[in-house]
Amino acid sequence: MDDKPIYDLFLKLNLPIRSICGGLGTCGKCKVLIQKGSEYLNQVTNAEKKFLSNEDLESGYRLACQTKINAKYIDILQELKPPHFRIFLPSELLFEDFNILTFGIRKKTVLNPAIKKFFLDIKKPTLDEPIPDFERVIAEIIAKDNTIKEDQIEIDFNLINQLPNILRENNHKITLTLWNDNEIIECEPNDTTENNYGIAFDIGTTTIVGYLVNLDNGKVYSLASKLNSQTAYGEDVITRLSFIKNDQKGLQKLNLAVLNDLNNIISKVCEKSKIKSSQIYEATIVGNSVMHHIFLNLDPINIGLSPYIPVIQKGMNIKARTLNLKISKNGYVYIVPIIAGFVGADTVGVILSSNINSQKDLTLAIDIGTNGEIILGNRKFLATGSCAAGSALEGAHISDGMRAAAGAIDTIKIDPQNFDVSYSTIKNKKPIGICGSGLIDAIGEMLRSKILTRSGNFDKEFIDQGRILRRNNNIEFIIAKREETSIGKEIKISQNDIRQIQMAKAAFYSGTRLILKHLDTKLEIKRVFLAGAFGNYINKYNAKFIGMIPDISDENIFQIGNAAGTGAQSLLLNKDLREKVKKLLKKIQYIEIATKEEFQKEFTDAMYFPHFNLELFPTLKEYNNIPKR
Amino acid sequence: MDDKPIYDLFLKLNLPIRSICGGLGTCGKCKVLIQKGSEYLNQVTNAEKKFLSNEDLESGYRLACQTKINAKYIDILQELKPPHFRIFLPSELLFEDFNILTFGIRKKTVLNPAIKKFFLDIKKPTLDEPIPDFERVIAEIIAKDNTIKEDQIEIDFNLINQLPNILRENNHKITLTLWNDNEIIECEPNDTTENNYGIAFDIGTTTIVGYLVNLDNGKVYSLASKLNSQTAYGEDVITRLSFIKNDQKGLQKLNLAVLNDLNNIISKVCEKSKIKSSQIYEATIVGNSVMHHIFLNLDPINIGLSPYIPVIQKGMNIKARTLNLKISKNGYVYIVPIIAGFVGADTVGVILSSNINSQKDLTLAIDIGTNGEIILGNRKFLATGSCAAGSALEGAHISDGMRAAAGAIDTIKIDPQNFDVSYSTIKNKKPIGICGSGLIDAIGEMLRSKILTRSGNFDKEFIDQGRILRRNNNIEFIIAKREETSIGKEIKISQNDIRQIQMAKAAFYSGTRLILKHLDTKLEIKRVFLAGAFGNYINKYNAKFIGMIPDISDENIFQIGNAAGTGAQSLLLNKDLREKVKKLLKKIQYIEIATKEEFQKEFTDAMYFPHFNLELFPTLKEYNNIPKR
């Protein structure tokens, strides 16, 4: 028997632990406190010695990914009375209590769902009209809705055999559920037309949201969200691709993880809205290309290798049972098409929700998630590209970074005179870390206070004074002092952290510039849509101030929330949009940003605050007093 | 443990025993000789005492359906060295060596199969054209065949994941199999276009034939046939419907029986033609409504109850794997639509093959199988009905009747002077029984020799003379004397047998008359097509002479062989015919013959030879000398 990693055990308990490096022991994030049972575990590894202080080690802290139950004790433990272990998980490690952005702004969608229910009083057969059961049913459907073509209606093969008995046992009064004017997918006794639901899923790299929608009135009846359990195998898509490459069953594990998440969400919304999962007849799915492939159990490996080729772009209708999704057993899943490379169906959702393809002016939409996507266009053209930008903005790779959970510092002000810090936290709890909006605020404020220069360095003048300290070969600015926090130590932003944010914001800005250059347009960006969980909480002015988005006035910057999820809802509510998407796809240009020749220079210039070239941000007068060095 | 019927054991050995009554012990046909092991069997039952003579019983004959291994011996037998039993099966009980009609006359079908194979040299992706795998493949298909619409091509979900590796491991040279211009169902390395097969099945009540067709040139490469194993549960559809009604697992058993038959046929044709079953991409299926339902595992019970309603009429495309048919795992089965009541897809096949719907003159087609179907029409109208007529003509319910197997008397001549009989047998073996064509000949000859009167009675004048004997409350005509046969007894035709044939021929003739009346047409039948296994071997003149078909000249009577099977082949070779069938179905009137008010009178009149009303057969001058009584 092998050693058993405790990381896997938590996964089995449906308590996946956040991991940035995918369990390689290179991020040091998965710190847990072993309160009982340490004697059965392996020795502390070198990776742990690197990330845990002596104090940590003495207290019993370990890295979950490095900690294993020693194989030789496993038999013994089975004999002993449980619990064998008591392990404390710091709250930011647990996938609960997060501020997941679940609502987007949905334009009024014309109702024309793929699912239609018909209550029918079927004509009984006679010797003079001995019409077979199925054909009699079709005749009644056509009589009710003459837009439907008789010739095109089929029936799920599993269902045909139920038809004769349901008809005869219910005096020929039945309710039929028709999908896409094309296939009968349910057949129930009596009138069940009022139970007609669909579910729209947004599978984010980090977060999954499911919206239960009533298909008769278009209203979201309930929603549920969950951190993507795949996070246990790696925080970003690149780490997950490596996991798939290196583990023979990697794809299967990730597929199962996300499938369980979706089925959990289905259970949750059904419970909330007191409906049966069999009354959900269709699901729509958006997600980036890697999430799309993993959900479909398609090998995504070529998406990660130049020239970055997905297996399939096209939208697909797949039986829910084929995918093991627990909705109506004959129901369908509409897989929203992806665009190219990493730019997936989520971006299709953003385009639909933002209506960027109908804008007169050149418009930029950026979807800020664990993966970042850029869409640039107007009613004449559309271009997209992706950048691996989001994870720092969600707190990854940041010393005291965390997601937008209770206790996260989310807004920050710095007094330029004495560098005193005031901040707010989510749910007003004692702070335990900084989330993305806090980081953007902190950097904006540090720039305005001239603690930072435009190149992102701490100004030497202030180092080793007050809150700015040189420690462990790094320079740190103390945001919250030890006594203010609930983690027994201070919360800080380090020089390294600032570099991470610089890279993220540079990725968005330089990506936008490169797409613009590729389009070879003279047009100027007049409008910006910020989409995604993170984008909805940040300070618009500071986003512009640090140079993440172009210099346009705040009133032309719109926070559109979880636009990908709203897009998935619209596609559920109006099947004609699926045809529209087919046409949109032909129009969209995909640009592989990072392989462009000018990428390196553009990226380096964009690392400056707000940019190497200040002329690009003419309204930000404050920068005139901030040194460049 | 229960007693084990030996009838079931033979089924398990893939040696189903012919049964007319479905194992109820009411037909006495399943006579077997127990040569060893009788001590472990149950006592002779009353049913057996009824059908077996003392001589039979003393020799060790039993009825297979009545004979069971006594439960108390089953354990003991397992300890003993096998063989425990030796059982002799008379050749006509075994489902081998039958003259199954497998060839029909196929008109030259324009080749346009639903299956198309493409060998493609796919463009490799680049950074400038990072097209996903599936979309690159589609582009090449469109380039090769611009009649196919890009938008409509999908891919079997099980296949998508194979595409990337097959492409990359074979230098982007692959063969794709496209179904119905709509779905990629196979994806193979390199050029496999030459392996492109389909299989057409005709599921008869008694006989199943499968034709392996090369879809590139339309040729039948091999064929195999088998007696329908469902016969073990009942010889005709009515008996099988009762079996389904009375046995909770009846439908499942019959479905499994026919499915195994089809899969056996697939194995056989693949072996004969040295191909793999995975190279068969599509199957077409014809069969009467009950066979259709059982193959699809649809409850056929309402077909047997007034107003005789099938579950579904419509043609269907179903994945072979859904039906457990062992062809290409992503391949399709095209289920040919049925018409109404018992009139099924086999009749659709007959219409297609006979082209009755293009005839200028009013034409009658009768399909003589275990079930009989009547089609009447021309290029303007078409009407069909069914009659339970066939089984006597196949030897069932006839004392010495048998199917057209080796040793069956198939043609008969009677010397009108001395009533001496000359006959031929199939394969020139010593006679063991009479098959349908022999029966028709015998009756024709007995009429011409005035042994029979027009009402089907033996002429009293000749009874108890020579070959005409009164025995066991019956009158019998000896066709072959004891010493001529290989069964140790004479072969005869009894008064009861003649009644059976009268009923069968009356069913066809009166059915035709009733359809004509229903159509209310002044047109006369100018042409007759005889379809079906039996129809191909009978003497055309005698068929007319006994009054089974109208009085038209022999040159307008055509034997078109297994027209149902030929129709299935045509539908495999040209998918446009499937659209044609949809239109045909709208044109066909279905007439429920047996429920017509005039049925009884018409049927009774048609019981006469050739008919009560001689004027209907004006050319049969010989009848002027044959008494009516």
In this prediction, residue B96 carries a pLDDT of 40
User: B231 or A613, which is more confident?
Assistant: A613
> Residue B86's pLDDT is what?
76
pLDDT band for position B84 (50/70/90)? confident
Backbone angles phi, psi at A357, to 5 degrees: -75, 0
pLDDT tier for residue A535 given thresholds of 50, 70 and 90: low
Cβ <8 Å between A312 and B151: no
Give the Cα separation of B134 and B137 in Å (integer).
Answer: 5
pLDDT at B606: 96
Of the two residues B577 and B88, the one the predictor is more confident about is: B577
B293 chain-A contacts, CB cut-off 8 A? none
Per-residue pLDDT for A33 more than 90?
A: no
Interface test with B, best of A128, A129, A161 (most B CBs within 10 A): A161
Q: Is A309 on the interface with B (CB under 8 A)?
A: yes
Among A233-237, B134-138, B218-222, B451-455, the range scoring the smallest mean pLDDT is: A233-237
Chain A residue closest to B150 (CA)?
Answer: A314
Nearest Cα of chain A lies from the Cα of B159 at a distance, in angstroms, of 10
- In this predicted structure, which of A70-84, A155-169, B377-391, B471-485 has the lowest mean pLDDT? A70-84
pLDDT for res A17: 65
Average pLDDT over residues A580-609: 94
Q: Which of A:141-180 have CB within 8 Å of B?
A: 151, 154-155, 157, 160-161, 163-165
Closest in A160, A311, A322 to B312, CB measured: A160
Q: Per residue in A456-487, pLDDT tens?
A: 999 999 888 889 999 878 899 999 999 998 88
From residue A122, alpha-carbon distances to A168, A204, B207, B215 in Å are 10, 45, 37, 42
Q: Contacts of residue B307 in chain A, CB cutoff 8 Å?
A: 125-127, 130
CB pairs under 8 A between A and B: 120
- Render the burial of B524-552: b for 16+ CB within 10 Å, e for the rest: ebbbbbbbbbbbbbbbbebbbbbbbbbbb
pLDDT digit string (tens) for A67-108?
Answer: 888 888 877 777 777 667 777 766 555 444 344 444 444 556
Residue B562, pLDDT above cutoff 60 = yes
The answer to whether A390 faces chain B, any CB pair under 8 Å, is: no
Q: How confident is the model at residue A446 (pLDDT cuts 50, 70, 90)?
A: very high
User: B302 to chain A: which residues are within 8 Å by CB?
Assistant: 133, 164
Q: How many angstroms separate the CA atoms of B251 and B256, rounded?
A: 8
Contact assignment for B160 to A318 by CB distance below 8 Å: no
Q: What is the pLDDT of residue A99?
A: 41
Residue to substitute from A299, A312, A335, A592, interface B, most B β-carbons within 10 A: A312
Q: Do the Cβ atoms of B363 and B355 come closer than 8 Å?
A: no
Confidence label for B19 from pLDDT (cuts 50, 70 and 90): low
The answer to whether the beta carbons of residues A205 and A288 sit under 8 Å apart is yes
- With 60 as the cut, is the pLDDT of residue B126 above it? yes
**What's the CA gap between A433 and A479, in Å, rounded?**
10
Any A CB within 8 A of B313 CB: yes
pLDDT at position B20 over 80: no
CB contact under 8 A, B125 and A307: yes
Query: Which of B149, B312, B599 best probes binding to A when mutated, by most A CB atoms within 10 angstroms?
Result: B312
Substitution target in B142, B314, B578 with the highest count of A β-carbons within 10 Å is B314
Strands (E), A389-502: 408-414, 421-425, 433-434, 468-471, 474-480, 491-494
Strands B557-561 and B372-377: unpaired
Helix runs in A87-194, H state only: 133-144, 157-160, 162-169
Radius of gyration of chain A (CA): 27
CB-closest option in A132, A316, A592 to B311: A132
Cβ B307–A127 below 8 Å, yes or no?
A: yes
C-alpha to C-alpha distances, B579 to A7, A71, A405, B583, B584, nearest whole angstrom: 59, 66, 61, 7, 9
Per-chain mean pLDDT for chain A = 89
Share of chain A above pLDDT 90, in %: 68
Say whether A286 sits in a helix, a strand or coil. strand
pLDDT tens-digit readout, B573-587: 999 999 999 999 999
Minimal Cβ distance to B132: which of A155, A312, A322? A312
pLDDT band at A20 (very low <50, low <70, confident <90, very high): low
* Digit-coded pLDDT (tens) for A216-237: 999 999 999 888 999 888 878 9
Report pLDDT for B578.
97
Q: CB of A602 within 8 A of CB of A397? A: no
Judge: A132–B310 Cβ closer than 8 Å, yes or no.
yes
**pLDDT reading at B17 higher than 70:** no
Cβ neighbours of B308 in A, within 8 Å: 127, 130
A194-203 tens-digit pLDDT: 999 999 999 9
Closest residue in A to B593 (Cα–Cα): A127
Q: Which of A151, A307, A316 sits opposite B126 (nearest CB)?
A: A307
- Tell me the nearest-neighbour CA distance from A585 into chain B, angstroms: 12
CA distance A41 to A64: 11
- The residue-averaged pLDDT of B602-621 equals 96
A250 and chain B: CB distance < 8 Å anywhere? Answer: no
Torsion region of A508: left, alpha or beta (phi above 0 gives left; psi -120 to 50 gives alpha)? alpha
* Tens digit of each residue's pLDDT (9 = 90 or more) over B490-526: 999 999 999 999 999 999 999 999 999 999 999 999 9
Percent of chain B scoring above 90 in pLDDT = 68
- Flag whether residue B585 sits within 8 Å of chain A, measured between CB atoms: no
Inter-chain touch B154–A312, beta carbons under 8 Å: no
Under the banding of pLDDT at 50, 70 and 90, the label for residue B101 is very low
Residues of chain A positioned with their CB less than 8 A from the CB of B131? 309, 313, 340
Are A311 and B151 inside 8 Å of each other by CB?
no
Hey, are the CB atoms on B309 and A151 less than 8 Å from each other?
no
pLDDT of residue B31: 79
**Which amino acid, residue B403?**
R
Q: Which residue of A has its CA nearest to B592?
A: A127
- Predicted confidence at residue B621, as pLDDT, reads 94
Which of B127, B311, B318 has the CB atom closest to A164's CB atom? B311
H helix or E strand, kind and range, residue B573: helix B563-573
Answer whether A340 touches B (CB < 8 Å): yes
| A296·B160 Cβ contact <8 A | yes
Does the pLDDT of residue A23 top 90, yes or no? no
- What is the predicted pLDDT for the residue at A22? 62
Nearest to B308 among A130, A135, A163 (CB): A130
* pLDDT above 50: residue A402: yes
Residues in chain B: 629
- Specify the pLDDT at position B108: 65
Chain A contact for B308 (CB, 8 A cutoff)? yes
Length of chain A, in residues: 629
Using CA atoms, how far residue B208 sits from A532, B13, B347, B583, in Å, is: 62, 19, 15, 27
- Nearest-Cα residue of chain B relative to residue A150: B314
Are A130 and B307 inside 8 Å of each other by CB? Answer: yes
Q: Is A322 on the interface with B (CB under 8 A)?
A: yes
Domains with residue ranges and CATH for chain B = 4-89 (3.10.20.30), 349-388+503-625 (no CATH), 392-501 (no CATH)
Average pLDDT over residues B271-276: 96
Q: Could you report the per-residue pLDDT of B542-560, keeping only the tens digit for each?
A: 999 999 999 999 999 998 8
pLDDT at B82: 67
The residue with greater pLDDT, A436 or B619, is B619
Average pLDDT of the residues in A433-445: 93
Q: Report how far residue A258's alpha carbon sits from residue A274's, in angstroms, rounded to the nearest whole number.
A: 24
With an 8 Å Cβ cutoff, is B305 touching chain A?
Answer: no
Whether residue A140 lies within 8 A of chain B, CB to CB, comes out as: no
Distance between A83 CA and the closest CA of chain B, angstroms? 43
Is the pLDDT score of A390 beyond 50? yes
Cα separation, B251 vs B227, in Å, equals 18
Taking CB atoms and an 8 Å cutoff, what residues of chain B touch A134? 311-314
Per-residue pLDDT tens over the stretch B147-165: 999 989 999 999 999 999 9
Q: What is the pLDDT of residues B400-437, one digit of tens each?
A: 888 777 888 999 999 999 999 999 998 888 998 898 89
pLDDT of residue B614: 95
Residue B100 has pLDDT above 70, yes or no: no
For B159, which residue in chain A has the nearest alpha carbon?
A298
